[in-house]
Amino acid sequence: MARILIVDDSPSQLLGIKRIVEKLGHEALTAEDGAAGVEAARRERPDLILMDVVMPNLNGFQATRTISKDPDTSHIPVVLVTTKDQETDKVWGLRQGAKAYVTKPIKEEELVITLKELLPA
């Protein structure tokens, strides 16, 4: 069982992703914006982070860059989960340190495959 941090400012998205994560047997931690996500990553040291992009305070690109540059959290894989579906968004997200990019609306099968690829066996 992994500890997965879900960062999203939409309560309905947060709940939907949390259900998928918990159905797979993982523990779900949540944060409501990028700044809270960075803080939770430092405090909780999750096994993986699912990060929305469009959020107040600190957007997902900024939060991902902060997490991936911090020696204490750089080992945590970040998956961007967003409605931003342009190739340039994906390239930019990966440049910020994300390990994968999943677009909304989330296809459960795609998220499951991504989690299996990135979580330690």
> Is pLDDT above 90 for 89?
yes
Distance CA 91, CA 22 (A): 29
**Predicted TM-score of the model (pTM):** 0.97
By three-state DSSP, how is residue 99 classified? coil
Per-residue pLDDT, 109: 95
Distance CA 59, CA 77 (A): 17
Per-residue pLDDT, 120: 79
Which residues lie closer than 8 Å to 13 by C-beta, 6 or more apart? 52, 104
Which residues lie closer than 8 Å to 82 by C-beta, 6 or more apart? 52, 53, 54, 60, 89, 93, 101, 102, 103, 104
> What's the rounded mean pLDDT across residues 86-107?
96
> What's the rounded mean pLDDT across residues 8-36?
97
The residues with which 19 forms a beta bridge, in sequence order, are none
Average pLDDT of the chain is 96
Place 96 in a pLDDT band, splitting at 50, 70 and 90.
very high
Place 107 in a pLDDT band, splitting at 50, 70 and 90.
very high
> What's the rounded mean pLDDT across residues 16-35?
97
